Structure 1
Amino acid sequence: MFPPTSRYAQTETAQLTTAAGRQVVYLRRRFLPKTMPPTQAEHKVVEGDRIDNITAQYLGDPEQFWRVCDANRAMHPDEMTAEIGRTLDIPLILGG
């Protein structure tokens, strides 16, 4: 359903049957991982930083921003760069 690099790749699906008998397939809720991957680097946020650019710099793919969010226990990507001077943990991506 989702590519292996998607944050939803390991998220289970479920089914709901409506009162009219229609089957609706949906994704179960995704929680932040209980254990964090090892850190490969730290990044100090400066004026003008964007999470997609930071992720492209360290992980080589701006769409992997969710990995940095997970590593820093952030639910919203914008909060990652809202505070100038904040230090972000950049995760080491194991196995791809």
Structure 2
Amino acid sequence: MAGIEPYESALDAIPGSHPYPRTSRYHDAEIGVHTQPDGTQVRYAKRRLLPPLAEAAEETVPHTVSSGERPDQLGQRYVGDPGQWWQIADANPTLDPRELTAEPGREIEIPLPGGFPGGGRG
């Protein structure tokens, strides 16, 4: 991954050093702590908020879906990692990532290198 120093990615292998790996959509999410009535503290990732799609339109390029394509294939093609399909999902108005490629001929948005603004890492 461009821009990450070797020592930084090595930290991902240390349990507890990061709640989520650098490639996760939740890596930059704020971590909250909920205290249960018995005093037990439970950590959780707070909700990720994305910018309005209209504001990020110039940060994407169009892609016409071909028959049989899948979100993971697009992640590999455009981001270089099939696990990064979520960056493409973030740039499109869909809740289920399978909807991205369900309809051949549909035009979807692909984030430019660097990731969808506010949505994750590139």
Match of 1:43 in 2: 63
- State the AA in 1 paired with 2:85: F
Which of the pair is proportionally richer in strand? 1
Match of 2:25 in 1: 7
For the aligned residue pairs, the C-alpha RMSD in angstroms reads: 1.9
Q: How much has 1:20 moved relative to structure 2?
A: 1.1
- Tell me, in whole angstroms, the C-alpha distance in 1 between the residues paired with 2:111 and 2:89: 10
- Tell me, in whole angstroms, the C-alpha distance in 2 between the residues paired with 1:11 and 1:21: 24
The number of residue pairs the alignment matches comes to 95
- Tell me, in whole angstroms, the C-alpha distance in 1 between the residues paired with 2:40 and 2:34: 8
Match of 1:30 in 2: 48
CA contact (8 A) 1:32 1:73 kept: no
1:1-96, aligned counterparts within 5 Å?
1-34=19-52, 35-36=55-56, 38-39=59-60, 41-94=61-114, 96=122
- Tell me, in whole angstroms, the C-alpha distance in 2 between the residues paired with 1:8 and 1:16: 18
- Tell me, in whole angstroms, the C-alpha distance in 1 between the residues paired with 2:35 and 2:21: 27
- Tell me, in whole angstroms, the C-alpha distance in 2 between the residues paired with 1:47 and 1:91: 21
Q: Secondary structure at the match of 2:43?
A: strand
Task: Give unpaired runs (5+ residues) of structure 1.
Answer: none
Q: How much has 1:59 moved relative to structure 2?
A: 1.3
Which of the pair is proportionally richer in helix? 2
- Tell me, in whole angstroms, the C-alpha distance in 2 between the residues paired with 1:93 and 1:33: 17
- How does the TM-score come out when normalised to structure 1? 0.84
Q: How much has 1:25 moved relative to structure 2?
A: 0.8
